[in-house]
Each structure stands twice: as C-alpha cells, then as structure tokens.
Amino acid sequence: MAGKTPPVTTTTRIAAVVGTAEWDGTRVAITVRRAIGLAIAAAKASGLRRLTWSTTRKMRACC
C-alpha cells in the first residue's frame, strides 16, 4: 500500500474488518459459516467416541 499508513490499533483493525465485511459481505459470511462448521465438525469428531462410549455405558447401566 502506498501513502501514509495509520498506526495499527484495535479500532483500526475493527474498522478494516467492518469495511471488508461491508464491501464483501457475502464472502465473509460464507467464510465465517465454513469456519464455524469446521469447528463444530472437529468438535463432534473428537468428542464423538467419548460421547458414544458414555451413552452406551449409561444405557447398559440403566437397562
């Protein structure tokens, strides 16, 4: 980027992010959804075995 660069502060970063989101809102929304989806998928994948195991044990204990 040519010209003066303002000092990078939290406000500047937020303004830049908001500006980017407004300028390219659809792509940002899709990226955020993908990131959330991947995080949920990873959490499910890692917690699935433990969850299944504990559920199976509870069912065996009660039934």
Q: DSSP for 2-53?
A: -S------HHHHHHHHHHHHHHTHHHHHHHHHHHHHHHHHHHHHHHHHHHHH
Residue-number span of the structural domain to which 58 is assigned: 25-62
40 found inside a domain: yes
Q: Would you say the pTM of this structure is higher than 0.75?
A: no
38 found inside a domain: yes
In the prediction, which pLDDT does 45 show?
76
17 found inside a domain: no
- Residue 17 in contact with residue 9, Cβ under 8 Å? no
34 found inside a domain: yes
Apex 62 CA angle, 61 and 63, nearest 5: 100
20 found inside a domain: no
Name the domain count of the chain.
1
Q: What is the tens place of the pLDDT at every residue in 7-27?
A: 566 666 766 666 655 556 667
19 found inside a domain: no
Across the range 33-43, mean pLDDT stands at 81
